[in-house]
Amino acid sequence: MTTRRSFIKTTSLASAALFITPGNLNFNHSYIGLQLYTVRDAMAKDPAATLAKVAKVGYNSVEGTYTGTAKFYGMDAKTFAASLKQNGLIMLSCHYRLGEDQDNGKDVMGTILHGWDQAVDDAKAVGAKYMVCAWLSPTERGNIDHFKLLAERLNKAGETCKKAGIQLCYHNHDFEFIKDNNQLPYDILLNNTDKDNVKFESDLYWMTKAGQDPVAIFNAHPGRFPLWHVKDMDNTDKHMFTEVGNGTIDFKKIFKSADKAGLKYFFVEQDVTPGDPFDSITKSIAYIKKNLV
């Protein structure tokens, strides 16, 4: 028999469970992604076999890279999409360069500034939901005025993405948090880009290394961060990369702000591993499954 007291206790526990479980979050926690830069050497040698190995470890989505050859790891969009499907993977997001830098005096195609329409078409053909400005070379960074110009360029590129049903994002490192004329380049990008056409991929490692609190940034700009790089920092003076859960970043705390951030998908990334990168990504996904999703 269900008494009033037992009913209240049961429903209270159920309500608490709804409040704390990942299922209450807006992000799709059924996907655990890997940024393929982590296994870049293997991808360069044998991308098909590498994708199969990534899937075997337990990842079901990836974030890739599109190069100046207008290909994904040497494959055209159709071939790459088939390879992903064969291994039960989807590519939710892909990284791109800005394109200010030249290669032997020639513009690099497949970048935001050169051949962007083709890049968008190829991303759509593979099924990507996000296209991300991945990194600025030292010559592409410049001063605050140059970041304002970048914001204009991102707005324009974001409009092209939006027409194709794709969301443009900008991925941070730590240099965006170095003040110039008492202003942070990251703030310039946040405040001078259209909040619908341009969103952000938060690299939690680089934000933390730059002395920033990701949660505070999410609270200041809610809904702008649909993608995260889940990457840990070791407890040494060098603050190097390490497996998720093996370092100092409080992911449990950060994940509590997933709704505020607007998180949709996240990707494990480890730029440098102490040994076989597949050992590292196996440790990372084990921690994530046990503690974060």
| pLDDT tens-digit map of 214-236 | 999 999 999 999 999 999 999 99
Residue 25: what pLDDT?
Answer: 53
Q: 233-241 long-range contacts, Cβ below 8 Å, gap at least 24?
A: 233/205, 233/208, 233/209, 239/209, 240/272, 241/205, 241/270, 241/271, 241/272, 241/273
SS3 annotation, 177-202 = HCCECCECHHHHHHHHCCCCCEEEEE
Q: What is the pTM of this model?
A: 0.91
Residue 70: what pLDDT?
Answer: 86
Express each pLDDT in 99-152 by its tens digit: 999 999 999 999 999 999 999 999 999 999 999 999 999 999 999 999 999 999
Q: What percentage of the chain has pLDDT greater than the value 70?
A: 91
Question: 67, 72, 127, 140: which is closest to 100 by C-alpha?
Answer: 140
Express each pLDDT in 163-211 by its tens digit: 999 999 999 999 999 999 999 999 999 999 999 999 999 999 999 999 9
- Count the neighbouring beta carbons within 10 Å of the beta carbon of residue 94: 23
149-160: average pLDDT: 98
Tell me the fold of 32-276: TIM Barrel (3.20.20)
Residue 19: what pLDDT?
Answer: 34
